[in-house]
Chain A
């Protein structure tokens, strides 16, 4: 949403909140407004987890309980002030968020949903059965509400307070999700290996999303306990977990405004259906089915199509001139061996795609890795980039041993890559894909990003300008705002190279960059790779187009059945009898590349 419309929207909302007393609403309606706010708080965080990071949780009632019981126990048992209890509730929420994030690192999809259901049920059982501490159904009475200047909150104050919390939460999440963190979450959801390849720690991103959702959910629970001044185990049910998820999905997961739509509509619906309790759960189930089948992007998604059309042709030019990563020649190209591989070995059961391979990559040169299909070329590349862990052997990059390192750490050292079967962030624009590539260079702290400090806005603007410059340099400038998946195949390949270059790598690994390109396009690709080399980047590419390989590389490695059978200068390799027999075939090269003519 454009900044102006957003500011106006917020002002209208704030004014409406301030004018609430004029409407003479009774407590019933004030309670509904309060509940909308609470549901929005819980759903806004859950949306980060579900809609952005792509992790489904069916156990957030457990986190709601963590917040509510912390607020109750801290106030009643430990005698802490309501304000302090509220803060403590958020802190405990964060801790439990960390706890349930742990399984998400190992499992995904339905298994993760099962784990979160388990968490929710365990919490429900504990607060119900462990009556010594949690008082079960009897519950805690007399939880103090916060007060300002000695005045305890009335129902009207509560509406204002929750409204303020909602606006603050919205502003922080808006700032966070618009920048590198939001992109990282989406990247993890859309293509984990690609996210790793640009230096994003998948574990950290998922954990962060869990913690954010846990904090807002715990805050919602604490606020409910304090406003109600009473809390018992009846609040914590599996249905609450479902309800929160329905708010997110029906409202529109992955949209900043989805939780708002969901909270307003479902809270009103809930209040209206309260007369027929039997209908409530049935309705949530039906709504969940309805939105999953017919409106997978929820209400917000139905609107966003319109908004996108309106935004088209209103592309904002960058405020500052950008520097293309391709034009910027890195300081005096390094020399010597940038990467040294020794006795690298990898087996999958009986299949050994890489057996005791040793070689060195010279800085500043273009190297080609060729060999028959199934020779182990891509596996070797995956070992170098950390996407596959080696069985044994050593990989030294600039003198540092990196064998067995996770992919995102290797990426942060300056090794970038592309993928044979294109792993773009398909729903994101070409520009966002490149910005994700620059992830490790956009230096904004979490706090700065959350609060939208000028430093983080400046970093974001610079990164955008640089990304646009790079896209322009690679002939993708006029398609920067199109979703990556809508680009033709050849341009998608080029976009992968742009994304890798945006990370300003020292070593670039390309897996069949010319696959699917016609001879003319392959020729243009050769020019791009030459420019990459001139920019001081060392290149290792897997390729079957021999005219390209022979034209641009200074060193060729040949792999067959997992073993290195030859290496050397291109002209020597093309005459090597072993290579001819295993790979090139006996005819003259014009016939085999065909397109060199």
Chain B
């Protein structure tokens, strides 16, 4: 079943057309990754799906409903969780409060508490620093917090924008292990990631975006073997 269906999506920043008619699908329980160079429009696409960028044309359908132009907080209520690029944590709130805020739309106190413990287990560093203000965390720790916070909403579709950004190798592996585990639990994930090798290895399917257009698509394994992808993005 298709969970997310995007048709001819366009986004403009002033005179610049950042997305020039993107079409893609994400099926229920799939992990789909977007790869592409800097400025190709990956984050813009994520922001448009998450209701944070204004759509200039085309449509976004989520679970069969048209959600084009819907606002960010309504996206969360529908079940779209967004871990944005650039560690947008609530700097003057504690780590624990950031996680509680991530579950703002939920009402199950017990579930929230157990989820917090769960993600403290995944990111022990956050457990150590749970009472510290998020703004005093190191860059990498803030990144972990941003991911955990998005998960706290128990989204049906998780948008992960560069989860490995600024993380130590050991933690990068943890993050990919988390993504793998989430996939096994049946979560649908749309992933933007510069570590294209690992992203393709974990993905069911992948799209390559160049200057606002999709130029290639296929299974993760196919793109990993594709010569164009290898020379342009994998540094091979």
Chain A residues at the B interface, C-beta cutoff of 8 Å: 348, 351, 370-378, 420-421, 486-491, 512, 515-523, 544, 546, 582-585, 587, 591-595, 597
> Residues 190-209 of chain B: 1 if any A CB is under 8 Å from the residue's CB, otherwise 0?
00001111100100000000
Chain B residues near A (Cβ < 8 Å): 13, 16, 35, 37-39, 43, 85-87, 125, 129, 132, 136-141, 143-144, 162, 165-173, 194-198, 201, 231-236
Indicate if the CB atoms of A516 and B170 lie closer than 8 Å.
no
10 chain-A/chain-B pairs, Cβ below 8 angstroms: A351-B136, A372-B171, A373-B138, A373-B167, A486-B16, A518-B196, A519-B195, A546-B169, A592-B169, A594-B195
Give 5 closest A-B pairs by Cβ, nearest first.
A373-B140, A488-B39, A490-B38, A519-B235, A488-B38
Cβ–Cβ < 8 Å partners of A584 in chain B: 169-170
Known: A488-B38, A595-B196. Is A372-B170 also a contact (CB below 8 A)?
A: yes
Residue of B nearest to A586 (CB): B170
The residue of chain B having its C-beta at the shortest distance from the C-beta of A517 within the complex is: B194
Report which residue of B13, B162, B196, B235 has the largest number of chain A beta carbons within 10 angstroms of its beta carbon: B235
Q: Name the A residues within 8 Å of B37 (CB-CB).
A: 488, 490, 518, 520-521
Q: Report the separation of the CA atoms of residues A597 and B196 in the bound assembly, to the nearest whole angstrom.
A: 11
Contact of A420 among B141, B166, B171, B172 (CB under 8 A): B166
Instruction: Name 8 extra pairs, CB < 8 A, besides A488-B38, A516-B162, A597-B236.
Output: A372-B140, A373-B167, A378-B138, A490-B37, A518-B233, A519-B194, A544-B168, A594-B195
Given A522-B235, A597-B197, check contact A583 B38 (CB 8 Å): no
Give the residues in chain A near B236, CB-CB below 8 Å: 519, 597
Q: Give every chain B residue within 8 A of A378 (Cβ-Cβ).
A: 138-139
* B137 cross-chain contacts in A, Cβ below 8 A: 374
Complexed CA–CA distance, A523 and B132 (Å): 36
Quote the shortest CB–CB distance from B73 to chain A (angstroms): 23
Chain B residue contacts of A597, Cβ below 8 A: 197, 234, 236
Whether the Cβ atoms of B235 and A351 lie closer than 8 Å is no
Q: How far is the CA of A567 from the CA of B141 in the complex (A)?
A: 24
Chain A residues lying within 8 Å of B170, measured Cβ to Cβ, are 372, 582-585, 592
B197/A489 in contact, CB under 8 A: no
Asked whether A544 lies within 8 Å of B166 as measured between CB atoms, the reply is yes
Which residues of chain A are within 8 angstroms of B197 by Cβ–Cβ distance? Answer: 519, 594-595, 597
- Structural contact, B235 and A595, CB atoms closer than 8 A: yes
Do A594 and B198 contact each other (CB < 8 Å), given the known contacts A348-B136, A378-B138?
Answer: yes
Q: A371-B168, A583-B168 are in contact. Are A516 and B173 (CB under 8 A)?
A: no
A385 CB, min distance to chain B CBs, angstroms: 16
Q: Do A491 and B144 touch (CB < 8 A)?
A: no
C-alpha spacing A595/B224, complex, angstroms: 11
Q: How far is the CB of B52 from chain A (nearest CB, A)?
A: 16
Closest chain-B Cβ to A506's Cβ sits at a distance in Å of 26
Residues in chain A near residue B138, CB distance under 8 A: 373-378
Closest to A592 in B: B169
Q: A528: shortest Cβ distance to chain B, in Å?
A: 15
Contact A373 B125 (CB under 8 A): yes
Q: Which residues of A contact B43 (CB under 8 A)?
A: 489
The interface residues of chain A lying within 8 Å CB-to-CB of B166 are 373, 420, 512, 515, 544
Which A residues lie within 8 Å of B198 (CB)? 594-595
Q: Which residues of B contact A519 (CB under 8 A)?
A: 194-197, 233-236
- Which residues of B have CB within 8 Å of A516? 38, 85, 162, 165, 194
**Residue pair A585, B169 in contact (C-beta under 8 Å):** yes
Alpha-carbon separation in the docked complex, A592 to B201 (Å): 13
Contact of A595 among B136, B141, B144, B195 (CB under 8 A): B195
Contact B169–A373 (Cβ < 8 Å): no
Interface centre among A519, A583, A587 (most CB of B within 10 A): A519
Distance, CA A533 to CA B11, complexed state (A): 41
Check if B235 sits within 8 Å of A523, measured CB to CB. Answer: yes
Is there an interface contact between B129 and A374, defined as CB atoms closer than 8 Å? yes
Bound form: Cα–Cα A378–B166 in Å: 12
- B202 → chain A closest CB, angstroms: 10
Q: Are B169 and A544 in contact (CB under 8 A)?
A: yes
Measured between beta carbons, the chain B residues less than 8 angstroms from A421 are: 86-87, 139
Which residues of B have CB within 8 Å of A593?
A: 169
The answer to whether B125 touches A518 (Cβ under 8 A) is: no
Whole-angstrom distance from the CB of A437 to the nearest CB of chain B?
21
**In the complex with contacts A373-B167, A546-B169, A595-B197, A520-B233 CB distance below 8 A:** yes
Interface-central residue, A348, A375, A489, A518, by most chain B CB under 10 Å = A518
Shortest Cβ distance from B67 into chain A, in angstroms? 27
The chain A residue sitting closest to B16, CB to CB, is A486
Out of A373, A587, A592, name the residue touching B139 (CB < 8 Å). A373
Residue of A nearest to B87 (CB): A421
Contact of B172 with A518 in the complex, beta carbons under 8 Å = no
Decide: A373 near B234, CB < 8 A? Known: A351-B136, A516-B194, A595-B195: no
B93 CB to nearest chain A CB (Å): 17
Determine if A583 and B169 form an interchain contact, defined as CB atoms under 8 angstroms apart.
yes
B134 shortest CB reach to chain A, Å: 12
